[in-house]
Amino acid sequence: MENKRAEELLKKFRAGQCTEQEKALLESWYIQRASRSEVDLSADEIEAVLQEIWATLPVHDEEQPVRRLWPRIAAAASILLMLSAGGYFLLHKTPAVYLVAQNHVPDIAPGSNKAILTLSNGKKLNLTDAKTGVLSKQGNKLIKKTSDGTVSYEASESDGDNRQPGYNTIVTPQGGQWSVILPDGSRAMLDAASSIKYPVSFSGYERRVEITGQVYFEVVHNAANPFRVIVKDQVVEDIGTKFNINAYDDEPVIKTTLLEGGVKVSNPSASLLSSREGILLKPGQQAAFQNNRFTVAYANVEDALAWKNGYFSFNDEKTADVMRKLSRWYAIEIRYQGNVPDQVFEGTIPRNTPLSQVLKVLEEAKLHFTLDGKVLTIKP
């Protein structure tokens, strides 16, 4: 990002007009500039600006200590750039010593676009390596990879056998994400360690897909042909909508967050009548399913969609919560050794940040660890 663009975002930030995505972009720019030691303002000039921003932050009284995320990157010999909660900035002139640097831990790159497409005949296509253009033809549909890395389904000019179109499945590994335009034109974006199964051609009285992990949807509404998402026996039915579902196996709660339109969320196998019949969500609401029961509350939508918009958002999250997100995105295994303190974190970090810089955040939060290959061990 050019300096002029950064200055424009900084002005928007001062005016309180920056979105969370723009804040993350501004953070990422500072990280990149600092890592190349090309910060072209003096330390005093930068600190004056950032102290001004810091002074605008509200002060929160917490019953328990909250570790704010401050990734430190050396911008010059004695200057450390620190990124705080929500994209705010502060400079310190005190050098820090990092466990990562001391142990010469090799870096781990962040996740990227990676996925495997399994066709109805069982053939597997590595979407990461596949060239742009037609990948396959099934029934009367051409399966294509677009220039931006999305899989799409288009009607073929020639007739095809549409009697048994079958199902396709896209699976992202740890450290991967992918987008697909479904045969009806609806869009789905998969987070790391997620999957979506769908028919090559939608037919019948409903459009039904099955997912695991976390998936964001933008659905083409059709009241006569409802769109239904099946996840762990839970059914999410579109009523003209944009929504996000987080249903990882290692998360204690299934969360469905509605952005636009409406959805009906139900669990036909639940013992409670209210859960079986389902509930209707309004924009901004989130349904949480746990212990056989739905609860509904207004959610921080930007937090729920942080992954889709390119950053981590930690909002009063405990150590284990943070580690699960990092494990999926950096494809690492998390282990715990001893009695690890139960800390609470808040802040944002761009998802394109290398793991080494994220580990610096953790160390600044007084969290101890070792990294051996792809195994991160958290210690007291």
Supply the pLDDT for residue 360.
81
Residue 274 has pLDDT above 70, yes or no: no
Encoding tokens for residue 352? 């394109």
Supply the pLDDT for residue 63.
46
Which one is predicted more confidently, 106 or 81?
Answer: 106
Residue 80 has pLDDT above 70, yes or no: no
Nearest to 244 by CA among 263, 225, 271: 263
What does the pLDDT average to over 334-355? 87
CA distance 214 to 195: 8
The set of residues, in sequence order, having a beta carbon less than 8 Å from that of 223 and lying 6+ positions away, is none
Question: Where along the chain do its domains lie?
Answer: 1-105+334-380, 112-304
Residue 165 has pLDDT above 80, yes or no: no
Tens digit of pLDDT for each residue in 237-255? 998 789 999 999 999 999 9
Tens digit of pLDDT for each residue in 256-273? 999 999 999 998 877 777
CA distance 306 to 323: 16
SS3 per-residue string spanning 120-164 = CCCCEEECCCCCCEEEEEECCEEEEECCCCCEEEEECCCCCCCCC
CA distance 139 to 159: 8
Residue 40 has pLDDT above 90, yes or no: no
Residue 6 has pLDDT above 80, yes or no: no
**Ramachandran angles phi, psi of 189, nearest 5°:** -120, 125
Average pLDDT, the chain: 78
Strands lying side by side in the sheet with 72-76: 72-76, 79-83, 89-92
Residue 35 has pLDDT above 80, yes or no: no
Supply the pLDDT for residue 14.
67
The set of residues, in sequence order, having a beta carbon less than 8 Å from that of 142 and lying 6+ positions away, is 134, 136, 153, 154, 155, 156
CA 150 to each of CA 141, 144, 189, 216, 337: distance values in angstroms, whole numbers, following the listed order: 16, 8, 9, 14, 41
Lowest mean pLDDT segment, chosen from 75-79, 113-117, 263-267: 75-79
Collapsing DSSP to helix, strand or coil, 204 comes out as: coil
> Which of 34-68 are b and which e, b meaning 16 or more Cβ less than 10 Å from the residue's Cβ?
beeeebeeeeeebbeebeebeeeeeeeeeeeebbb
Lowest mean pLDDT segment, chosen from 85-89, 124-128, 366-370, 376-380: 85-89
Supply the pLDDT for residue 268.
84
Residue 365 has pLDDT above 80, yes or no: no
Residue 324 has pLDDT above 80, yes or no: yes
Residue 18 has pLDDT above 80, yes or no: no
Q: Write down the residue that tokens 């943070």 correspond to.
A: 322
Residue 86 has pLDDT above 80, yes or no: no
Among 3.40.50.1100, 3.40.50.720, 2.60.120.1440, 2.60.120.10, what is the CATH number of 112-304?
Answer: 2.60.120.1440
Encoding tokens for residue 258? 């509605």
The set of residues, in sequence order, having a beta carbon less than 8 Å from that of 171 and lying 6+ positions away, is 115, 116, 118, 194, 195
Residue 87 has pLDDT above 50, yes or no: no
> Largest alpha-carbon pair distance within the chain?
71
The one-character DSSP state at 38 is -
Confidence of residue 225 (pLDDT cuts 50, 70, 90): very high
Residue 151 has pLDDT above 80, yes or no: yes
> Is residue 350 within 8 Å of 60, Cβ to Cβ?
no
Tens digit of pLDDT for each residue in 43-66? 455 555 545 544 444 333 444 445
